[in-house]
Chain A
Amino acid sequence: MSAFPTAQRVPPVPVAGPPPRTAGSPAGTGRGRRIALYALLVLGLILVVAPFAWMLLGSFKPQPEFLRLPPTWLPETWTLDNYRRLFENLDFPRFFTNSLIVATAVTAGNLVFAPMLGWALAKLEFRGKRFLLLLVLATLMLPASATLIPLYVLMSALNLVNTYPGLILPFLAGPLGVFLTRQLFLGLPDELLEAARIDGAGEFGIFWRIGMPLAAPVLATLWILTFLGSWNSFIYPLGMTQEPQMYTLPVALATFATGQYQSDHGMLMAGSVVLVVPVLIVFVLMQRWITEGVATTGLKG
């Protein structure tokens, strides 16, 4: 919402870097207090990371070691057997592919459709614009579970239960991308577009060739947040897939964890690793885009 066009691409506050600090400000803490704070933060970090470590190490343990008392952290004999059973007996490659297809399609849709509306709301004048803005806002408030049952009825009627379109279509355009891109487009100078119009460029061409490239940083944030959201989504694919070959990873894992494999520690740990580790790698590589995106959506309109 800044008057300075360039300010839109810079996060409102430097989330990543430390802000300038003046010596002797009230923030300057005593040495003992600071050490205690570090100790507390490290303890917290251990508590956060421990279950992940437990999961990762457990996925390499043979089943008998899980039943040993007292339980141990490290596997005595390291094994890939859990992963082998996951991929050979349970068709996890298929679930992985399903998740990948759905998340990729949903992300692609959002990367095109959301900026289009964001552009219209920021750069075009037309009747009904305010109404559209309210509409987008309303979708933010709607709990996903409220539409699950009627969507299931709709998808049954359209014969789309247990299909990719059934899993993808409702999520092709979400409000998050509209907000993020509208925000950025508001900051672009209209003179730029005016010049393009005088050169005879069409409205869509202006959006696609001028707007979209300038939105690249925000699109990166949108890409990663949408992908993560779809990859992790559960209640909708759970309701919309009844045949195992259409399960997404979370649905498969939850089904096995609550069904016949519920005490197969090793395999469920391995399944969790397959679901979690790709995401963690992407997150650590792109953490700046994620945390800045989250902070920006939170603080800016």
Chain B
Amino acid sequence: MAGRDAAIGVPRTGRRAGGDPRSRVGVRAGGSTLKRDLTGWAFALPFVLIFAIFLLGPVIASMLLSLTNFGLRDLRNPLGVSFTGLSNYTALLADGRFWTSLLNTVYFVVVGVPLTLVLGLGAALALDRGIDKFRTVFRVGYYLPVVTSIVAIAVVWRFVLNPDLGLVNMTLAQAGIQGPNWLGNPSLAMPSIIAMASWRNLGFAMIVFLAGLQGIPRTLYEAASIDGASRWQSFRNVTLPLLRPTMLFIVVITTIGYLQLFEEPFVMTGGGPLDRTLSISMYMYQQGFTFFHQGYAAAIAWVLFLIVAVVAFVQFRVLRSEA
């Protein structure tokens, strides 16, 4: 299973220098070292230019920006802005709305990621081993929301969750239940958004889990059953351990995605009621584009970036080392 270590797209760089003799042929090809270097970088040039101007540059700039009081008037003359040290960050620490947005986002991730994964894994297990007909129908069906615009989904779900006229409460009413005001109730708004996000993303988890499951040799299950393992035991001791690289990939990707929660509250609740669905990205957007505090917004973006980096790193370590 060593080859599967390459999950999450980490290229194994050592490989080139080491064993593969075929690569040597390429080494001779281009002539002098300088010419080879120029050729290589010429191929890389478009990507590197775009990367440098529109990604690396902005990331560094946002670091500097977060140390300024950049605002609307500075857009005309960005270089005339004055540095204010860490004042944005100290203000952030004392900003109640920032903490609210952080807690809301954590809530969304901590409940939403496991829910999405469990649903996705359940669907994948059912499709992989439980049934043998109509797999494509289910696979394509469950994946439909993943390729769909979140904005459109959020618009539709806002109507689906409408307290009087929505699909959900209409269905509940037929069972004689008076449905609540899902998005208008402060303690139900975030759970509703979590349900919608899991509904949308379970298809992605399913597809990746399915690929992972189908890479597990059937003979292992046969061996386990010969040894008298129950269905649960073979899931626990064969499936789960061999699914670890897949799991790592989905957990990291889903968490990074969910930490950036934006579209759903933007369209469905506007961050309300009572800021209960205000996410970090939404707060950043408000500060940057509604209040025009770009310096402050950049500080929020940096905090989000750090959280993403730390979380991804920790997950990587934990899931790798867990036996």
Instruction: Report whether chain A binds chain B.
Output: yes
A residues neighboring B (CB under 8 Å): 1, 11-16, 18-22, 25-27, 29, 33-34, 37-38, 40-41, 44-45, 47-52, 54-55, 58, 66-67, 69-71, 109, 112-114, 116-117, 119-120, 123-130, 132-133, 135-137, 139-154, 156-157, 169-170, 172-173, 178-179, 182, 189-191, 193-194, 197, 203-204, 207, 228, 231-232, 234-235, 238-239, 249-250, 253-254, 257-258, 265, 268-269, 271-272, 275-276, 279-280, 283-284, 287, 290-291, 294-301
Q: A209 CA to B124 CA in the complex, in Å?
A: 40
Interface readout for B134-160 with A: 1 if CB under 8 Å, 0 if not? 011111111111011111111111111
- Complex contact A22–B39 (CB within 8 A): no
Give Cα A253–Cα B160 distance, bound, in whole angstroms: 17
B182 within 8 A of partner (CB) = no
Q: Is the CB of A34 within 8 A of B144?
A: no
Across the interface, name the chain A residue whose C-beta is closest to B64. A150
* A128 interface neighbour in B40, B51, B140, B246, Cβ under 8 Å: B40
Q: Do the beta carbons of B148 and A26 come within 8 Å of each other?
A: no
Q: Which among B159, B164, B210, B218 is the interface contact of A22 at CB below 8 angstroms?
A: B218
Query: Which of A50, A145, A149, A154 has most B Cβ within 10 Å?
Result: A149
Segment of B29-37, B91-99, B110-118, B183-191 engaged in the interface with chain A: B29-37
Given A143-B308, A150-B58, A152-B294, CB of A69 within 8 Å of CB of B164: yes
Q: Are B48 and A132 neighbours in the complex by a CB distance under 8 Å?
A: yes
A149-B140 in contact (CB<8A) = no
Is B59 part of the contact surface with A, judged by Cβ < 8 Å?
A: yes
Contacts of B203 in A (CB 8 A): 48
B103: CB under 8 A from chain A?
A: no
Q: Fill in one digit per residue for B276-319: 1 if any A CB lies within 8 Å of its CB, else 0.
A: 00000100110011000010011001101100110010000000
Interface residue? B242 (CB, 8 A) = no
- CB < 8 Å neighbour of B165 from A69, A109, A268: A69
Contact of A269 among B36, B65, B145, B159 (CB under 8 A): B159
Q: A126 to B142: give the CA distance in the assembly, Å.
A: 44
Asked if A294 and B44 sit within 8 Å, CB to CB, the answer is no
Q: Once the chains bind, are B26 and A193 in contact (CB under 8 Å)?
A: yes
| Beta-carbon nearest neighbor of A279 in chain B | B147
Q: In whole angstroms, what is the CA distance A48 to B140 when docked? A: 11
B86 within 8 Å of A (CB atoms): no
Nearest 10 CB-CB pairings of A with B: A126-B40, A301-B6, A295-B211, A170-B54, A120-B43, A150-B58, A272-B152, A150-B62, A113-B46, A190-B25
Question: Which residues on B sit within 8 Å (CB–CB) of A290?
Answer: 143, 147
Contact B165 A71 (CB under 8 A): yes
Instruction: State how many angstroms separate the Cβ of A130 from the closest Cβ of chain B.
Output: 6
Interface size of B by CB at 8 A reads 128
Nearest to A45 among chain B residues (CB) is B141
In the bound complex, how far is the Cα of B174 from the Cα of A70, in angstroms? 10
- A190 and B7 within 8 A (CB): no
B30 touches A137 (CB 8 A): no
The residues of A that contact B36 with a CB separation of less than 8 Å are 124-126
Smallest CB separation, A240 vs chain B (Å): 10
Name 21 interchain pairs, CB-CB below 8 A, sorted by A: A1-B12, A13-B215, A25-B221, A25-B222, A26-B231, A41-B127, A70-B173, A125-B27, A133-B13, A135-B51, A136-B47, A143-B305, A149-B298, A150-B59, A157-B78, A203-B43, A232-B148, A234-B262, A295-B211, A299-B6, A301-B7
Whole-angstrom CA separation of A268 from B159 in the bound complex: 10
Interface contacts beyond A18-B132, A143-B308: sample of 10 additional A-B pairs, CB < 8 Å, sorted by A: A1-B6, A12-B215, A15-B211, A26-B234, A141-B312, A142-B55, A145-B281, A153-B294, A254-B263, A283-B140
